[in-house]
Amino acid sequence: MPAPAAVALPTSPTPLPGDTGHSPKTSFWALTLGSVGIVYGDIGTSPLYALKESLHAAAGGGHAPTRDMVFGVVSLILWALILIVTLKYVLLVMRADNEGEGGTPSLVALAQRVLGQSGGFVIILGMVGIALFYGDAIITPAISVLSAVEGLKLVTPAFEPYVLPLSLAILIGLFAVQSHGTARVATFFGPVTAFWFLVMALGGLSHLADDLSILAAFNPAYGVSFLLNHGTAGLLALGAVFLAVTGAEALYADMGHFGRSPIRAAWFGLILPALALNYLGQGAMLLAHPERMENPFFLLYPSWALLPMVLLATVATVIASQAVITGTFSITQQAMQLGLLPRMRVQRTSETEKGQIYIPRVNWWLLVAVVFLVVLFKSSSALAAAYGIAVTGDMVITATLLFIVAWKAWRWSPVLAAAVIAPFLLIELVFLSANALKLFHGGWVPLTIGAALVTAMWTWRRGSALVAEEIHRRRVPLSNFTRMAENGSVLRAPGMAVFLTGSPGDTPGALMHNVKHNHVLHARNVILHVVTEDLPRVPDAERVTIKPLSDVFTCVSVRFGFMELPNLPRVLAGAGFDAPALSYFLTRRVLVPSPETGMPVWQDRLYIAMARAATDASRYFRIPADRAVEIGARIDI
């Protein structure tokens, strides 16, 4: 088959910026309801433990909180919701969309795009942010499900021995069903979570009359006074207060699924009022009944409603955990496309929703980590100490990257960008310092996870660069090779062969070794270069570029966005190639550690282990197994 001669292949119009991938018929209110279930699941379960843990930290071992403590902590929670979630994320950070997508990888891509070659440190910030997200993703299911099931102890103390095994059973079941996808279950996420917020609002509203003076907590002076007058206890309480805003990153990360306006409408119309009412109600109840400090959330409700509330809370925490797990799959896919993690098998679980994916290896590693935390800490109170550092660290990185984007991409003056963003950064650094006090009481968990993941990502990125340098050093320019191969001395085999290469100007190793050892060249040869752009998705019209070199050789460049699942046969078929008849030749590299390369030997060994565990290129690019040929090559790193 002759190579197509087109330079670019327009196949569909470019999507508009901010396109969420939903059908135009999807109504605004349907998206708003959907965002309630997916975006706000995590922050919606915070009232289960945030106020309780904050007051425990302020009052110390089992003592009843004073009125000043209740006013101060409720005030801090309310203003954390106003300043961090509302002003920073809902109104400011969500402006920083990358072709409609949000999240740390999108922010990194935006910052790197405007900084160019000088933006290497942005990648490091992105690695740290992604690593801390994983720490958050491990702790969220554990603390959320534990805190909900612990409500059974209020129904009857006889349930206490069953809290831990029941929590483990729920979590294992949740991870076990991930391979089936969440498309059907997600239909119920929005309505169920909306009902959860309404019930929370009613629970808080029913106790406001216990002590209406709690409404004075909207005065930030109570929070400031509490911090100034309670020393270390105040800082410990501030670290726990941050539990009230965990999940704020999800507003930004899930922006591409629902759009900016539906997420904002849900926040102002339902989420913020419901959260505020619930925290105020818990505070008013504790002012009137300090003895209910054991579990103020569930004690908002009458005894006959305790068991239904525990069941509803369990469903809400499962939904919150599901959202975090799904987010982890998405972040992992983006990190792979950005070259920060090795290739892993990615499965689509929906034919229609782009975000419905499943990564088996990530799923089972997450389950092992979550089960380990539940068994190690045994209660939500013990886990609370481990929670804040990951979230605050991630928020500090978001603020830093946002400053770069505001200054360089939005063209704000550095003074204006600093004036707007520095107050948020200062607040989050104070929260980070407060959470650092819990380092030896569980805070080491996310830091250990984060350090291990940053080391792995840096090793993979550095090792991949060294491998690319070694391949380039051995390179044979493609122009020289094509002249030699076409001189008639090499046998010709019928058909068309595709050779993947990381450098389009060099001869692919598989092509060179095929000619060298087999002394054969196909009648038509495609030199295929795959590029991952710093865009979430590449428009189909700009997907493929074809450059014929001769009757025998054609260079093809295929571009994917960092949120897309690469499928080379489908793309080539759309570009006019006879995809079922193509043979794909790939280079399988045998890596050998060497003390003479740019990494220590221990890091060489780590990179080699990661490379061996990576999904091979044929599976990653959806190349049929019976159409793929691999040729080995040894590389010292």
Over range 82-105, report the average pLDDT.
86
pLDDT band at 4 (very low <50, low <70, confident <90, very high): very low
Cβ atoms 548, 520 nearer than 8 A? no
C-beta neighbour count of 268 within 10 angstroms: 11
Q: Supply 76's token pair.
A: 């801090």
Per-residue pLDDT, averaged over 374-390, amounts to 82
Q: 117 pLDDT band (50/70/90 cuts)?
A: low
Give the pLDDT of residue 21. Answer: 43
Q: Predicted confidence band at 154 (pLDDT cuts at 50, 70, 90)?
A: confident
pLDDT at residue 254 is higher than 90: no
pLDDT value at residue 7: 33
Could you identify the residue written with the tokens 């100034």?
Answer: 228
Dihedral angle computed from the Cα positions of residues 493, 495, 498 and 499, in that order, rounded to the nearest 10 degrees: 0
Instruction: Answer with the residue of higher pLDDT: 416 or 477.
Output: 416
From residue 36, give the alpha-carbon distance in Å to each of 179, 195, 204, 269, 398: 23, 10, 19, 11, 23
Q: Band the pLDDT of 595: cuts 50, 70, 90.
A: confident
**Confidence class for position 181, pLDDT limits 50, 70, 90:** low
pLDDT of 546 strictly over 90: yes
Can you tell me the distance from the alpha carbon of 410 to that of 589, in angstroms, rounded to the nearest whole number? 43
Q: Are 379 and 294 in contact (CB under 8 A)?
A: no
SS (HEC) of 176-213 = HCHHHCCHHHHHHHHHHHHHHHHHHHHHHHCCHHHCHH
Q: Given this model, what pLDDT does residue 203 score?
A: 96
Q: Residue 143: pLDDT above 50? A: yes
Residue 61 has a pLDDT of 61
CA distance 442 to 614: 32
Q: What is the mean pLDDT of the chain?
A: 85
Range from 447-461, 505-519, 560-574 carrying the lowest mean pLDDT: 505-519
Residue 11: the pLDDT is 31
Span 548-559, pLDDT tens digits: 988 889 999 999
Q: Which amino acid is at 316?
A: A
Q: How far apart, in whole angstroms, are the C-alpha atoms of residue 398 and residue 93?
A: 8
Place of tokens 């939903």: 22
Which tokens hold the place of 372? 């380990």
Q: What is the mean pLDDT of the segment spanning 451-472?
A: 88
For residues 77 and 276, give the distance between their C-alpha atoms in angstroms, rounded to a whole number. Answer: 9
pTM of the model: 0.79
The pLDDT, as a whole number, for residue 421 is: 94
Instruction: For residue 633, list its beta bridge partners.
Output: 589
Which of 7-21, 105-119, 126-140, 331-345 is least confident? 7-21
The residues with which 493 forms a beta bridge, in sequence order, are 522
Q: Which residue has the higher pLDDT, 498 or 384?
A: 498
